Every structure is written in C-alpha cells, then in structure tokens.
Structure 1
Amino acid sequence: MKPFPPEKEEDFAPFFPAEVLRRGLAYAREGRVLRVYRLGERLFGEVRGSAEAPYRVEVGPGLGGSCTCPYPDFPCKHAAALLYAYLDRGGKDLKEALEALPPEEAKALLLALAALPRVGGLLLEALFPERALEEEAKELKAAFRLGLWPEEALEALLVKLPRVGEASPLLAVLEALLEAPQDPGPYLGPVLARYRALGGPLRPLLALLLRHPFPELVRTFLEMARARPEEALPLLAGKDPWREALRRELLFALGQAEEALSLMRARLEAPEDYLALVDRLLALGREEEALRYAEEALEWFGKDPRLFPLADLLASRRGLPQDLLRRFALRPSLSDYAALRVLLGPRFREERPALLKAVKDPALLAWIHLLEEDWKALDRLLKRAPLEAYPALAEALEERLPGEALRLYLDAARALVEEGGRARYREVARLLKRARALDGKRVEAFLKNLRALYPRRRALWEELASLSSS
C-alpha cells in the first residue's frame, strides 16, 4: 500500500473484498460516519451500524486496525466507511496540532474538555487509574457472573495497566478475571506482570492462588517468591498440600534440594508421588537413589499401570530379569519376551505360562507363537480371535504365513463392508491394499464379488476407486 492516510480511493480499495467496499461506501454516503480524525498515521472515528451504540474504528498503515463490530475479519465495512469519509472531509493531523500547543493552552484545553462528561470520565480514568481499576473489577465480576465477556472493557483494562502505580487494585482485577467464563489468559498475564513489576505483596497473591490455582498465578508467585524467599517461606509453612507443593518448588528453585526432597519423601503415598520423586532425582543426577525408589514403588503398588515409566526405567537402566518381568507384566512386548527367553534360561519354562497370560493383544500372541514356531497354539489363537483383531493378526502373519494373512484381510474387509459407513470403507481400502501385495488376483476377484453385491454403494466405490479395475 501507499503511504497512509490515503489520498484517493485507489490507495485502499484494491485491498478490500468488493462487497465489503461497496457497503462501506454506502455507509459513508448515508452519513453513518459520525466522527473521523487523524492522529499521525492512524485514522480514528465512530460509525453507526446495526447496534444501538456506534462502532469505534481505528485504521492504520497496511489497513491494520480494529473495529468494535462483531464482524470476524478486518478491515470491515465500517473501516471502509471511515476511509471514504476521510477522503471527503480530510482534516489536519490532530497529533501535530496538539504537539504545537503551548503548555498553558494545552492545560486550558484539557480543563475545557474535562467539563464534558464523556471526556471528563476518560481523563479521570487516565489520571487516577487505581480508582478506575477498582470500579472496573466490580463491573467485570458482575458481567462474568452473567456469563458475559466484555471484550471492550478488557481491552481498556490493558491500556490502563502501565499507569497503575499501586498493586492493591490489581488484586481485585485478578480476582475478577479468575471468575471469567472464558480463558482469561490474554488479560491475566499482563495484569500479573504489572503486579510483579510493582512488587506487590505475596500474602494476598497466595490467598488468591489457593482459591484459584491457575498455572499463570503459580508461575508468577514462584518467580516473585524466588526473589523474596524471606517473605515467601513463612507463608508456605504448614501441612496444606498446595502450600507444601509450592514450598517444595521454591526450595528447588533456591537450590535447597535436600530439604525439598525430604518433603517429597514424607509425602510418598500414591504412585504419582513416587513418579514425581523419581523424576526429580533423575533431574538432579541421582540415578542410584531414583532406581531404589522406583523399585520400592513397584513393590508397594504391584501392577498399577501408572507405574510403567518406573518399570521401564529399571529395565532400561539395569536390565535385570526381574526388571524385564515387571515391565512385561505392565506392558507386554515381543522384545521383552525374547530377552526373557535368554536371560531366564531354564527358568523361562516356569515363567512362560504367566507371561502368556499377561498378553491380552492377539497380534502380540501371534508374534510370540511365530517366534517359538508353536503352530498349534497359533492355530488355536486364530480360531478364537475376534473379528476386530483380524487386521493386526494379518500384519503379524504376512511374512511367515501370507496365505493366512490374506484370508484374515479379506474376512475383515468383508465384515466392514457389511457394516457400512465411509470410515469403514476407508479402512477396507487400506486392508485391501495390503492384501493386494500378497495376492493381487485374489483381491481383484474379491472386488468383482463386491461390485456384484453392492453396485450402488457410491461411498464404497469412491473409497475403493484406486483398487477397482472396473
């Protein structure tokens, strides 16, 4: 785009959708632009739309800007109307005019403007932002309780933040934001940053955090506490779980790892407690101690699936037979089964029934029977396997028993076609592609059969288009 503000219609018209531009021009001709003025390279104004109150519009270089209308994209028709009105009315740069005023004239102008209720209210908020924030916090809380999201008020809140010189009104705003019906993150972060910059007291922030443990609040509190440990640590005394968790994280941040670890050891009551302690010990490079607590957790809680990371840790770091047995019991795998055959030696025969009993996945059982060439067990497995397991079983059998794999693929595909539905047809296409790699002629014959049975299933043949030869 050319320099802004525009000098003629061609400077901005090509960058608008045709219909948006047409409606903006109509608005301008209808006199809907109530006010337009220039401030440097930006245009501001009010445009009357479908709502009771006029929309406030701002347009700058590159057609960047904003409008309070509900239209999801920018620039909107109100922005176009503002630009057309500026071309018609023109006007001097308000910024230059204000900067040229002598101090006494500028003061007199402000005093005159302050007598206008609307302008006076804005000046009051700008000069006394703390008082304005307290009032806005009440209004925000009332709006949130009604399920409303007053975005305009929230944006105005961010504008006032840099002028706020006291931390106390920010607490009221924070409390209101934490009751918002939507994610308050975009507004919560800047308010907390200002609170941190002003060095607000930790006690009321902690009280707010304990009622609303929002992650952004936790991070801010710990950042501030790290800089003021003498104030923070006494506040975190006691047995309250949240206070204790915060105290522990603060101690780690302060380099007092041993005291923090002692708090974690005293709280070892559930699998999550052990997982957290082991992770922290590993982060501190204390692997031997971490492995000891991992083993203790597995002894206490047995086959709790949440403890798989600890079983995996022991198996990968130590690789003892008992470690692989624990990991296999929680999450069986072919690699662990093969490793246990070697590690257990003669004892493997005793453990084998329990290992096989732990395997619930038919495909994994098929891999194991193939590994051991236990054809009778594999035959029994295939006879009792549920239909939904056929695709995974077929993949396991492709290399060693391609004929059986082909049968399973085709049976699974046939059943899915009978059930119907585009998602199932898509899966049929996937299965038949794998089957075709085993025996293309059988798949062609299968497709011909399908065509005869279901000639009018458009969705089916759309999904099978790449496979069908007809």
Structure 2
Amino acid sequence: MVPFPPEKEEDFAPFFPKEVLRRGLAYAKEGRVRRVFRVGERLLGEVQGSEPEPYRVEVGPGLWGSCTCPYPGFPCKHAAALLYAYLEARPKEDLLLALDRLSPEEAKALLKSLAQVPEVALLLGEILLPEKSFLEGVRALRQAFLLEGGEEEAKALLLRLPKVGEKELLAFLEALLEAPFDPEPYLRAGVGRYLEVSQDPLPLLRLYLKAPSPALEEALLELGRRDPEGLLAHLSGKDPWGLKRALKERLLLALGREEEALSLMRERLEGPEDYLAFVERLLALGREEEALRYAEEALAWFGKDPRLFPLVDLLARRRGRPEDLALRFALRPGLEDYAALKALLGRAFPEKRRELLRGVRDPALLAKIHLLEEDWRALDRLLKGAPREAYPALAEALEGRLPEEAARLYLEAARDLIEARGRERYREAARLLSRAKALDPGRVAAFLEALKGLYPHRRALWQELSAQGLGP
C-alpha cells in the first residue's frame, strides 16, 4: 500500500497525468502553495491559481480529495503542487495531535478566537446551536424563493434535518409550500424526519389544508394508521374544499373500514366526478354489481355528459347491451361499436342507423362506415362535400378498398400544403406523397415532374422530398 502522506515523489507521481504533474511541480517551484497542513491522514492547503482567491485543496489516501478550482477531474495540478510542497516542507506536526495537547481552557479560548472568523462562526453555529442556525437557514430559503431560486438552500437544509426538532421541521415544511420549483422531494424528506420526532397530526394537517401534497398526505395517513382516532378527530367540521372528507375516506380504506369509507362517498354523490370516483372505488374493492348500479344511476341523472364516458364504457364492456353501445357511440363514435350494434339489432338496425350517423362529425369515420355498408352513393356525396383539411384522414380510410381515390386525396392535400409554403408543411406534404406513391406510383411521378416546372428553386421543398426518397 502506498503510504500517505507521501514520503517521496514516487508515492504519488505515477497516478497523475504527465502534463498535470508537470504543471503542479511548476506551481510548487513558483511558490504558489500558500499553506499546507497535515490533519491525520489528510493534507489541506491553499494554492494560488489564475483567480485572485486561492484554491482550497484537500488530498487523502488513494489521492482521494477535492479542489475548488474549475478543473473537471481530480487530482488536478493544484493537488500535485500541494503534494510537492508537502515533500519540501514536510510539516511533522499533525493538527489533530496538536489539538489533543490543548488543555480545556486553551481549547475553549481557541474556539472563541475562531468564532471571530465569519466562515468558522457559521460552522460552529450549526454544531452548537443547530435549531437557531436551521431557522436562519429557513429564512434564507424564503428570501431565495423571492428571487426564483432556493434549491441549493433547500438541499443544504436537508443535510441538517437530523439535528433539529418539530418546530424547525414545521418551519421548513411551511416554507417549502411557497417554493417556485417542485418541492415534493424536499417535503418528502422533511415529513420523513417529522414522523421520527412527532406523533401529532394536527400541524401537518394544517399544512395539507393550505397546500395539498402527496408527501403530506402520505405522512398523515401514516400517523392515522398509528393512531386512527387521533387523526379522525380532526377530520370533521368546516371543509370548504372537501380535503378533510377525502382524507378521511382514504384513511378509513387504509384501515380496512370499507363500509364507513363508502358511506362517506355515498353522502357526497352530487356531480359526475363524484360518481366516477365512487364507481372506481367499488371496482377496486371487487364490488362490480354495485359499481354497475351506480354507473346506471349516474347516467340516469346526467344523461350524455361527456365526463361520464368512463362509466358508459364500463357498462358497454361489462354488459354489451345495445343501449350501452349506442350511448358509447353517441359520446365517442367508433366503427367497432357501429358494427356491434348492427350485429345485435339485426333487422331493427336501419331505424337506428340514421340516429347514429347524425351524431358523427368525423369524415374519416363516416367513410369507414359507408365502406362497411358498401353505400357508394353516400361515400361519393361525402367525398364531394368534405373539407380539404380532411383529405389526409379520408385517404387513409380509403387506402384498403379504393387505393386510386386515396392517392388522389393525398395528392390534393400535398398540393395545398406546398402552395401554403413552409418547411413543416413541405415535410408533411412529402409524407403524404410517400403514402400516395405506395398506392399509385405513376400518378405521383407525374405530380413530381410537374412540381419541377412549377417550383424548381424551392430548396426546402426538394430537401424534404429527397428525405422521403422523392427528390430528383
């Protein structure tokens, strides 16, 4: 094992890049090493670099260490300079041993003297007065928030959490609620420490009601599991935003008191969102029949409210009755439901068909339906009246059955994009032409030949076409 601190140059030189070592030696010869101390198995010192303020360097066994210089790696030339300076001066005195020889009175006097140095005073304050120092850090954190910063200050306070108590933790958590960045990771660390020092849910509940957070909610639920009645006692009374009620429901469910939780949820079934949450909870508990009953109740109350689509979808998937499929089609039309209704209703379907189609606004879906029905007249009317912006989607719908018509629509849509100009439009036009080429190569070749005569100097256009393999 290589000795440390080193006894000769060979103990560290082989572990440095040659150029870094050479520059470190030059620094040492120039007298740039201002100070070097031995502290146990570490060397500490200052090396004057290119900046007015000297760099602080620390080197330990295995050339582990750090330097305040901007060099991205370690060891750097300043570490090499410090090692060379140590060999030259070789201070035999170890600061730790020197401190051991101090009497209590001398040690106290030294600390008082060091307390006059601002940087040392801050470190001593963190050690000797951790609570007061932490609260000062929280004040600095709030000030940093005003300047749209604060993450570095928050990270520094995290390191000091193990030394503070409930009062300091609550001040930290409350400050984080005003953070201009996502405070969740810091809140999670803070409430983790709070659970170690306190069993009182009320302070956390006040913060949660002020600014709901997953970390605060999880901590409250943990305290509720430890002492259910202690938290439940606070989850009543004034509750304008419904946060207490929602937290109470989650706690009761976490405690396995399902009927109490469901009873609370039933009491507040007022809007579509309430029914959605209630049905979802019933399904999670495996109570499917009850969930379906409340889904029906919601539809009876609110009809075709788009927010209830998940309940409509649930009924259609679990029961598959014609009325369920028809309602799902009305809220979110799709070819699958249309085909399923046609199969289920049989001879009665033509009467329903007109009503179903009346609610379809998507030309591409209408095209697919007409193709399914082989209703060529309706499809022809649709294509003649369709807006040009719908051509790409219509073309995609027609590719399988009517490739030539699909190619025509792709070409028309590409022509509109090219005339509108712009690289993004050219890129989309090239994509459409590529699809058309797979359907009707001759037609696309003629189209591209015409483009050469119309727009020979549109560099961006031909770049995008070439990227799709359509260029000259």
Distance 1:48 1:237 in 2: 65
**1:163 positional shift:** 2.3
Secondary structure, counterpart of 2:159 in structure 1: helix
Which residue in 2 is equivalent to 1:428? Answer: 429
For the 8 Å contact 1:113–1:120, the answer to whether it is kept is no
Which residue in 2 is equivalent to 1:189? Answer: 188
Secondary structure, counterpart of 2:309 in structure 1: helix
Which residue in 2 is equivalent to 1:468? Answer: 470
**1:108 positional shift:** 5.5
Q: 1:222 to 1:48 in 2, by over 3 A?
A: farther
Match of 1:112 among 97, 110, 115: 110
For the 8 Å contact 2:292–2:315, the answer to whether it is kept is yes
* Worse-matched range after superposition: 344-353 or 41-50: 41-50
Secondary structure, counterpart of 1:115 in structure 2: helix
Distance 1:5 1:438 in 2: 78
TM-superposition CA deviations, 1:298-351 (whole Å, max 9, x none) = 222222222211111111111011110111111111010000011122332222
Which residue in 1 is equivalent to 2:417? Answer: 416
Which residue in 2 is equivalent to 1:130? Answer: 131
**1:435 positional shift:** 1.0
Distance 1:102 1:49 in 2: 34
Q: 1:439 to 1:342 in 2, by over 3 A?
A: same
* Worse-matched range after superposition: 238-247 or 32-41: 32-41
For the 8 Å contact 2:47–2:82, the answer to whether it is kept is no
Q: 1:22 to 1:93 in 2, by over 3 A?
A: closer
Match of 1:11 among 11, 15, 25: 15
For the 8 Å contact 1:126–1:160, the answer to whether it is kept is no
Which residue in 1 is equivalent to 2:457? Answer: 456
Q: 1:315 to 1:383 in 2, by over 3 A?
A: same
Residue type matched to 1:174 in 2?
Answer: L
Distance 1:355 1:24 in 2: 83
Aligned-residue RMSD, C-alpha: 3.9
Q: 1:103 to 1:299 in 2, by over 3 A?
A: farther
For the 8 Å contact 1:98–1:106, the answer to whether it is kept is no
**1:39 positional shift:** 7.2
Q: Determine whether 1:89 maps to 2:88.
A: no
For the 8 Å contact 1:436–1:443, the answer to whether it is kept is yes
Matches within 5 A, 1:175-186: 175-186=174-185
Distance 1:22 1:302 in 2: 82
Which residue in 2 is equivalent to 1:201? Answer: 200
Residue type matched to 1:438 in 2?
Answer: L
Distance 2:385 2:97 in 1: 88
For the 8 Å contact 1:34–1:45, the answer to whether it is kept is yes
TM-superposition CA deviations, 1:448-467 (whole Å, max 9, x none) = 11122111222211221142
* Worse-matched range after superposition: 132-141 or 320-329: 132-141
Distance 1:317 1:380 in 2: 37
Residue type matched to 1:136 in 2?
Answer: G
Matches within 5 A, 1:27-426: 75=72, 80=76, 82-90=78-86, 98=96, 109=107, 112-117=110-115, 118=117, 119-149=120-150, 151=152, 153-164=153-164, 166-240=165-239, 241-426=242-427
Secondary structure, counterpart of 2:188 in structure 1: helix
TM-superposition CA deviations, 1:237-291 (whole Å, max 9, x none) = 2251111111111111111111111111111122211111111111100011111
Q: 1:85 to 1:346 in 2, by over 3 A?
A: same
For the 8 Å contact 1:34–1:47, the answer to whether it is kept is yes
Distance 2:49 2:254 in 1: 54
Secondary structure, counterpart of 2:333 in structure 1: coil
**1:365 positional shift:** 0.4
For the 8 Å contact 2:57–2:79, the answer to whether it is kept is no
Secondary structure, counterpart of 1:359 in structure 2: coil
Q: 1:259 to 1:35 in 2, by over 3 A?
A: farther
For the 8 Å contact 2:312–2:327, the answer to whether it is kept is yes
Distance 2:305 2:35 in 1: 69
TM-score (norm 2): 0.84
Distance 2:364 2:57 in 1: 63
Residue type matched to 1:11 in 2?
Answer: F
Residue type matched to 1:439 in 2?
Answer: D
For the 8 Å contact 2:39–2:95, the answer to whether it is kept is no
**1:363 positional shift:** 0.5
Q: 1:202 to 1:441 in 2, by over 3 A?
A: same
TM-score (norm 1): 0.84
For the 8 Å contact 2:24–2:77, the answer to whether it is kept is yes
Residue type matched to 1:278 in 2?
Answer: V
Distance 2:56 2:358 in 1: 70
Runs of 5+ unmatched residues, structure 2: none
